[in-house]
Amino acid sequence: MASVRKRIWDSKGVRKEAWVVSYTDQLGKRRLKTFERKKEADAYRNKVAIEIQRGEHVPDSQTVTLSRALDLWLENCEARVLARDRMRPRTVRNFRSWTENHIRPRIGHLMLTKLNYQVIQAFVDDLAYDREKRRSHATITNVLSCLRLTLKFAYRRGLVGPNALVDRDIRVPGEKGRREDIPTKAEIRAFLASAGENSMGGVARWLKPLLYVSVFAGLRQGELRALTWGCVDFDGRVLSVVAGMDNLGHVDEPKSRAGRRDVPMGPELVTELKRWKLAQPRNARDLVFVGRNGAPLSPAQIRQSFLRLQHRVANGGKGRTAIIKDGYAFHTLRHVCASLLIESGLPPKRIQTIMGHASINMTYDIYGHLFEDQGQIDAALTKIASDLVA
């Protein structure tokens, strides 16, 4: 049982006092910790008592710095990549970037046992209000996720007690990113029609079938780049998504377990892919979409070609086609697909499967606003009222 006692002593004729927390940990070892104020000692005693009862207490002498914990966690992430254990190289690269640029320089020197709610909130505020380089809401959210995963890993390894981020709500300053605007149906029709025109200007031949798969099947860009003809079943009218490609051209498992899925194809998509298969140059990897030299498409190639197409449409197909500014990102076509599926009345659970979301909650979080049909809402409210009001 933990207890607090006052200690008084003389140091060169000066009277000093402190408060000592005395306790026996879950391993039966006697431990002491000293504080300047009784309030701090009482709080520590209460915290230790709970941790010992749960078998979770880690004394300062047995923990490590946050910097060391980050190293151990990142090593574990690399091992998971090699073992194909739901971790991708691109994800680890992002983790390292957030770690080296934001976490380690500011609080990496702290011991894990010192990372309480107040310290972490101050760290987050410093990132948000740094006059020289203010971080966005999205960046801070990603940094906080890194920190949370590191503490979770350290807890499992017995390097720290309960995660300081589990039960406390850390406030992330700044505004959340706004929803992306998506092309209208009229714009999509114009994109599909113009992409098939034979004219100069940097709009690649592969862009039209790529648009068709994006709009009518909703594949992610990495899934499009890794798609092979062996995964296209024309007879069964199904696209099998079994892999994704990162920005460096590495092919790996889909983004999540739900990412491995079969996506139905409509007649228009089947016809367009059949046409493309006859016209496409062969490549050793049997990829559906490749550049002129048979190499996999890069994100930059897709982005530039799509922006040139938007310039062509906006300019009526006249003049030199250029890369416009402030155009739609290619990823918005995936949102177009989801919105069209929702508008068609397809059940949300089926939409979740087609989009490759891990849970129905994710589908609602991203596209919930599109499910809000005012006509359906009015009809439901009218029915409820008619049942209750005479």
CB burial readout 187-203, b (16+ within 10 A) else e: ebebbbebbeeeeebbb
- Give the pLDDT mean for 135-147: 94
- Give the pLDDT mean for 219-223: 95
- The answer to whether the beta carbons of residues 135 and 128 sit under 8 Å apart is yes
- Give the pLDDT mean for 372-381: 70
- pLDDT-derived band at 372 (thresholds 50, 70, 90) equals low
- Give the pLDDT mean for 137-166: 90
Domains of the chain are 3-57 (no CATH), 62-156 (1.10.150.130), 185-371 (1.10.443.10)
- pLDDT-derived band at 373 (thresholds 50, 70, 90) equals low
Q: Is 3 exposed, middle or buried (0-12, 13-18, 19+ CB in 10 A)?
A: exposed
- Give the pLDDT mean for 70-90: 92
92-109, pLDDT tens digit by residue? Answer: 999 999 999 999 999 999
The backbone torsions φ and ψ at residue 232, rounded to the nearest 5 degrees and listed phi first, read -105, 110
d(CA 353, CA 254): 13
- pLDDT-derived band at 200 (thresholds 50, 70, 90) equals low
311-342, pLDDT tens digit by residue? Answer: 888 887 665 566 777 789 999 999 999 989 98
Q: What is the pLDDT of residue 20?
A: 95
DSSP H stretches of helix in 116-266: 117-129, 137-156, 185-195, 207-217, 221-226
- pLDDT-derived band at 202 (thresholds 50, 70, 90) equals low
d(CA 227, CA 256): 16
- pLDDT-derived band at 390 (thresholds 50, 70, 90) equals low
Which has the closest alpha carbon to 117: 149, 146, 144, 157? Answer: 144
d(CA 149, CA 309): 41
- The answer to whether the beta carbons of residues 242 and 254 sit under 8 Å apart is yes
pLDDT at 217 over 60: yes
d(CA 193, CA 215): 13
- pLDDT-derived band at 376 (thresholds 50, 70, 90) equals low
pLDDT at 77 over 60: yes
High-pLDDT (> 90) share of the chain, % = 58
Q: Long-range contact list for 349-356, CB < 8 A, 24+ apart?
A: 352/258, 353/258, 353/261, 354/217, 354/218, 354/261, 354/263, 354/264, 355/218, 356/220, 356/223, 356/241, 356/254, 356/255, 356/256, 356/258, 356/259, 356/261
Handedness of CA 24, 27, 32, 35 (dihedral sign): negative
d(CA 242, CA 264): 14
Mean pLDDT over the full length of the chain: 88
pLDDT at 254 over 70: yes
- Three-state DSSP at 16 gives strand
Handedness of CA 319, 324, 327, 329 (dihedral sign): positive
Q: Give the global pTM.
A: 0.73
